[in-house]
């Protein structure tokens, strides 16, 4: 009896098990969409520029030539083209400006031109590679302006057999209004070059739309340096203020650094000619003018040349000449 009483007392003092609260059955509403983690929306693509009918046709023709040379799509319609002057055959001669035109005199202005001679195929693609680079990457254009004219002589390029001369048979790089043009251009063409049709300087200086186009670009933007891309002489040439008188060494430094960044590309003191860009812009106007002659005109080498010279072009754009 004693033991029974103890057992009863112990059982009364033990804690009782807790009873789980009643849980109602929850039914999942399968029509509801689970909440996803919030992410920033993809930026909407920028609308394409509105092009005139002439520029739209020009871009279509550019795409045709890009397909011909197996360069892919030109992306021509993505750029904000400026167009004032056309060739003798009516093709636009447009250009693109990166940066704003206000206070140009205080900015680092670079003018780049290609396609001066239509049978020099690789420079055309080279200028488009520059356009892609300037558009696709985060360049700071607050203190610099870059003007690119990728096809100065469209008549000589938009043809079944590209030629050095334009559709009027003139070499537009012998047609600039240099001081020696009237005295020497036609005389040298006749006596030194045997009236070679590929080098005909024209009936008079600035007779060609392509020449006037380049002259007007230079007068409008007053670049601190000009880069003109040609082929196939495989050199880097300079025209402009005498390098020995370049006390700041900025023009000479750019020449040497461009060569260095292009794997030691040959620097040459190529002679200038009556009516040439280097003679008119470089020697007479005093604008440092760099002629980059690519190794050849083989369109299949275009990507290789851009890889070789991309860093040199970047440096040239960033390099400031003058005060």
Q: Which two tokens stand for residue 142?
A: 């607050």
| pLDDT tens sequence across 179-192 | 999 999 999 999 99
Query: Which residues, in sequence order, are CB contacts of 178 under 8 Å at separation 6+?
Result: 185, 205, 274, 275, 276, 279, 280, 284
Domain tally, the chain: 1
Range with lowest mean pLDDT among 7-21, 97-111, 166-180, 212-226: 7-21
Q: What is the pLDDT of residue 314?
A: 97
Preceding amide of 232 cis, omega within 30: yes
Q: Which two tokens stand for residue 40?
A: 């920033």
Flag whether 88 is in a domain.
yes
Q: What b/e string do you get for 282-292 counting C-beta neighbours within 10 Å, with b at 16 or more?
A: bbbbebbbbbb
Flag whether 65 is in a domain.
yes
Residue 42 has pLDDT above 70, yes or no: no
Q: What confidence tier does 47 reach under pLDDT thresholds 50, 70, 90?
A: confident
Domain that holds residue 113: 53-318
Contact 115, 157 (CB under 8 A): yes
Beta pairing class for 235-239 and 289-293: antiparallel
Q: What is the pLDDT of residue 246?
A: 60
Q: What confidence tier does 9 reach under pLDDT thresholds 50, 70, 90?
A: very low
Query: CATH no. for residue 188?
Result: 3.40.630.10
Q: Would you tell me the crossing angle of helices 302-318 and 250-261 to the nearest 10 degrees? A: 150
Report the predicted TM-score, pTM, of the whole model to 2 decimal places.
0.85
Contact 105, 162 (CB under 8 A): no
Distance CA 257, CA 162 (A): 33
Flag whether 111 is in a domain.
yes
Query: Which residues, in sequence order, are CB contacts of 312 under 8 Å at separation 6+?
Result: 257, 258, 259, 261, 262, 265
Facing residues of 146 across strands?
98, 110
Flag whether 34 is in a domain.
no
Q: Which two tokens stand for residue 311?
A: 């860093």
Distance CA 92, CA 85 (A): 6
Contact 144, 108 (CB under 8 A): yes
| pLDDT tens sequence across 113-162 | 999 999 999 999 999 999 999 999 989 999 999 999 999 999 999 999 99
Flag whether 44 is in a domain.
no
Residue 86 has pLDDT above 70, yes or no: yes
Q: What is the pLDDT of residue 37?
A: 43
Query: Alpha helices of 137-208 — where are they, by DSSP H?
Result: 154-157, 186-191
Flag whether 124 is in a domain.
yes
Q: What is the pLDDT of residue 242?
A: 83
Flag whether 237 is in a domain.
yes
Only one residue has tokens 């696709």, namely 136
Flag whether 118 is in a domain.
yes
**Where is pLDDT greater, at 35 or 275?**
275
Contact 320, 224 (CB under 8 A): yes
């Amino acid at each position: 009896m004693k033991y029974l009483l103890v057992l009863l007392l112990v059982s009364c003092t033990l804690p009782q098990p807790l009873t789980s609260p009643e849980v109602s059955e929850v039914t999942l509403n399968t029509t509801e969409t689970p909440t996803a983690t919030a992410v920033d929306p993809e930026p909407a693509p920028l609308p394409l520029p509105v092009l005139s009918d002439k520029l739209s046709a020009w871009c279509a023709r550019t795409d045709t030539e890009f397909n011909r040379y197996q360069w892919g799509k030109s992306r021509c319609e993505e750029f904000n083209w400026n167009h004032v002057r056309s060739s003798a055959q009516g093709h636009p001669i447009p250009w693109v400006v990166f940066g704003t035109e206000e206070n140009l005199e205080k900015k680092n202005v670079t003018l780049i031109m290609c396609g001066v001679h239509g049978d020099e195929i690789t420079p055309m693609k080279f200028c488009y590679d520059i356009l892609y680079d300037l558009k696709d990457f985060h360049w700071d254009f607050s203190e610099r302006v870059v003007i690119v004219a990728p096809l100065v002589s469209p008549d000589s390029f938009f043809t079944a057999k590209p030629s050095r001369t334009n559709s009027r048979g003139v070499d537009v790089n012998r047609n600039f209004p240099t001081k020696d043009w009237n005295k020497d251009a036609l005389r040298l063409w006749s006596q030194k070059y045997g009236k070679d049709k590929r080098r005909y300087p024209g009936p008079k200086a600035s007779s060609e739309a392509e020449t006037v186009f380049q002259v007007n670009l230079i007068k409008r933007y007053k670049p601190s340096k000009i880069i003109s891309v040609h082929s196939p002489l495989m050199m880097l040439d300079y025209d402009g203020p005498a390098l020995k008188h370049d006390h700041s060494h900025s023009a000479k430094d750019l020449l040497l650094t461009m060569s260095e960044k292009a794997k030691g590309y040959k620097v040459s003191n190529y002679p200038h000619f009556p009516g040439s860009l280097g003679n008119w812009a470089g020697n007479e106007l005093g604008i440092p003018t760099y002629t980059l002659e690519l190794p050849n005109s083989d369109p299949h080498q275009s990507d290789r040349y851009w890889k070789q010279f991309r860093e040199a072009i970047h440096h040239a754009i960033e390099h400031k000449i003058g005060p």
